[in-house]
Structure 1
Amino acid sequence: MSLDSHLAELQRKHVDLQREIDDAMTHPSVDELEIVKLKRRKLAIKDEMERLKDVQTRH
């Protein structure tokens, strides 16, 4: 998988997680801990995207 395609896949996952978070926050029955876990996953993906972009700019 090329770096660009990997970044595109991470971006897609990031957007999907945001939708999942938005959806979860509209349902009062959703556990706050679950929302926190989703936000942490989203942040981890963002961190990975930033790391890969940094690697890409160095080449």
Structure 2
Amino acid sequence: MMARLEELKSRHRDLDDEINALMETGGSSFQIMALKREKLRLKDSIAWLMSRLTPDIIA
């Protein structure tokens, strides 16, 4: 599961770089929006995996 988490984090960073590059070069707003949606899905997947790896501690 840790390997999958690192894979998702890496893809998330790559998408961030790709989005920034497109924004700087005047890329298609449709393409930028699609990449942002994918980045958000990745963020949700990362959060879900992290919650599965972190034990629930009831204080």
With the length of structure 1 as denominator, give the TM-score of the two structures. Answer: 0.88
- Post-superposition shift, 1:6? 0.5
Q: How many residues align?
A: 56
Structure 2: unaligned runs, 5 residues or longer: none
> Over alpha carbons, which structure has the higher Rg?
2
SS in 2 for 1:58: coil
- Post-superposition shift, 1:5? 0.6
* Aligned residue in 2 for 1:21: 19
Cα distance in 2 for residues equivalent to 1:34 and 1:42: 12
- Post-superposition shift, 1:58? 3.2
Cα distance in 1 for residues equivalent to 2:39 and 2:55: 25
Structure 1: unaligned runs, 5 residues or longer: none
- Aligned-pair RMSD on alpha carbons? 1.2
- Percent identity between the two aligned chains: 34
SS in 1 for 2:54: helix
